Structure 1
Amino acid sequence: MPIEAVVASHDSTPAAAPLLKIGDLHGWYGESHVLHGMALEVHPGEVVTLLGRNGAGKSTTLKAIMGMLQRRHGSIQFEGHETIGLLSRAIARLGIGFVPENRGIYASLSVEENLLLPPQIRPGGMSLECIFTLFPNLKERINSQGTKLSGGEQQMLAIARILRTGARFLLLDEPTEGLAPVIVEQIGRMIAQLKQEGYTIVLVEQNFHFAATLADRHYVVEQGRVVDMIPNDALAANIDKLHGYLGV
């Protein structure tokens, strides 16, 4: 079934115009065809997750949105404007922030230097004071090098650095992977607070139970395309089907 029909079949889908709209998106790593017609929508203020087994194309979708694939075609519209032909730096300046799975912080720089390095792409980037209120751990480690930070602190720093730029649309790739439960809980509170403040977030997450506490809707990805969309308030009725998708 086309994803447009899947989305339309759920009454809880927001009626507002989508902030991000992807249609018939294909993407390649070299000669390997990874995305096979991805289609999804994200509305302002939503937290949306991409769920699926390893290798389904979830992280590749985030990279395609950011223009980080050498070859892609289809449609990626942000705020009603087509971005498929733009370079990554131009896409970032539209207000889209990407936190990759490897976090991408500068290991030789201090926490403060990492935070001050990215340019402001839009007005309204978080001040250091606000960052340290949201992430008190980082204030305690402000002079510590990236190599001295725990995995959880590195993840907080990677997210905080994006918030400094003024981006309001966030792509978070596996933000809880390998982290202790207490840090996962802290990151969950942070995402919930950002949502309350009007940020829009696309979350790739293997921890389904974590995603279920935060997301408005879940897109299920298989073999480089969306095969289902489940609103969070319909999870209980669809849990067996979701377990089948995820191989739980």
Structure 2
Amino acid sequence: MPDAVAMNPASEPAALLQVKELRGGYGEGRVLHGVSFDVPAGEVVTLLGRNGAGKTTTMKAIMGILARRSGSIRFDGVETIELPARKIARLGLGYVPEERGIFSSLTVLENLMLPPQVKPGGMSVEVVYELFPNLKERWRSPGTKLSGGEQQMLAVGRILRTGAKLLLLDEPTEGLAPVIVQQIGKTIERLKKEGFTILLVEQNFRFTQTVADRHYIVQEGRIVDTFMNDEIDSNLNKLQGYLGV
């Protein structure tokens, strides 16, 4: 099936991120077979699909941490396909991987202060604590003492301090209690109101339906369909077929 390339009518916001014919993989194996999609500025956009579809690989390719990649990735008008990860991050992209990447021997505050500021306007520690009160209570605790939900809050808060304006969140609700999932959802809604653009990988499309503007379906390393959020209910059977739920 051909890729469903996102179009940008004049009524839509300009694309902050444009991915065109993205191909890549690991070693001799190819995972991505021409992924194409846009992420409009100020939107929350999701990549949905079954395990192994290529969602996380797409995120890694965007951040430049996938060794083998080709095609085009433009962020805010800058072509990044040939740039190393450190330069891509300094353009204003922030990545929260599925494994979260918390330094277990460092305290909450030390983890928060570790990444450098890449752009003006990064959140202060005080604002991060306002978003995630649990972190304020645990600011002296080492990473090993945090719950899964607290680690996720810390991983997101750490990126917010850098000044990144496009946030790539990989499975932020995986394995978390419902009350923490709700808190993550409220945080995403607030970040959107404050002008952040978010690309979200999720298995839980019911969660994404509460926060996202549009959804791209990833299947075997390609974008095979696109739904605006208000189209989900009328296409539920089709979506469940894609996701196998």
Provide TM-score, normalisation by structure 2: 0.97
Superposition pairs of residues 121-200 of structure 1, within 5 angstroms? 121-200=118-197
Runs of 4+ in 1 over 4 A off after TM superposition: none
The 1-side partners of 2:107 and 2:236 are apart by: 44
Which residue does the alignment assign to 1:107? 104
Which residue does the alignment assign to 2:51? 54
Preserved contact between residue 3 and residue 35 of structure 2 (Cα < 8 Å):
no
Structure 2 gap ranges (5+): none
Structure 1 residue 43, shift from structure 2 partner:
0.6
Which residue does the alignment assign to 2:212? 215
Preserved contact between residue 50 and residue 204 of structure 1 (Cα < 8 Å):
yes
Which residue does the alignment assign to 1:81? 78
Which residue does the alignment assign to 2:223? 226
Which residue does the alignment assign to 2:198? 201
The 1-side partners of 2:78 and 2:14 are apart by: 13
| Pair 1:23 & 2:20 matched | yes
State the percentage of identical aligned residues. Answer: 64
The 2-side partners of 1:146 and 1:206 are apart by: 25
Which residue does the alignment assign to 2:61? 64
Aligned residues: 244
* Per-residue deviation, residues 127-172 of structure 1 (Å, max 9, x unmatched): 0110110000000000000000000000000000000000010000
SS across alignment from 1:226: strand
SS across alignment from 2:15: coil
Structure 1 residue 17, shift from structure 2 partner:
2.1
The 2-side partners of 1:120 and 1:246 are apart by: 38
What is the one-letter code of the residue matched to 1:153?
A: E
Structure 1 residue 2, shift from structure 2 partner:
3.8
Structure 1 residue 175, shift from structure 2 partner:
0.3
Which residue does the alignment assign to 2:240? 243
2:88 to 82, 86, 91: 91
Which residue does the alignment assign to 1:44? 41
Moved more, 220-229 or 234-243: 234-243
Structure 1 residue 14, shift from structure 2 partner:
5.5
Structure 1 residue 80, shift from structure 2 partner:
1.1
The 1-side partners of 2:100 and 2:187 are apart by: 17
Preserved contact between residue 115 and residue 164 of structure 1 (Cα < 8 Å):
yes
Preserved contact between residue 93 and residue 168 of structure 2 (Cα < 8 Å):
yes
Structure 1 gap ranges (5+): none
Q: Taking structure 1 as reference, are residues 22 and 177 closer, same or farther at Cα in structure 2, changes over 3 Å only?
A: same
Preserved contact between residue 126 and residue 166 of structure 1 (Cα < 8 Å):
yes
The 2-side partners of 1:180 and 1:195 are apart by: 23
Provide TM-score, normalisation by structure 1: 0.96
Preserved contact between residue 14 and residue 43 of structure 1 (Cα < 8 Å):
no
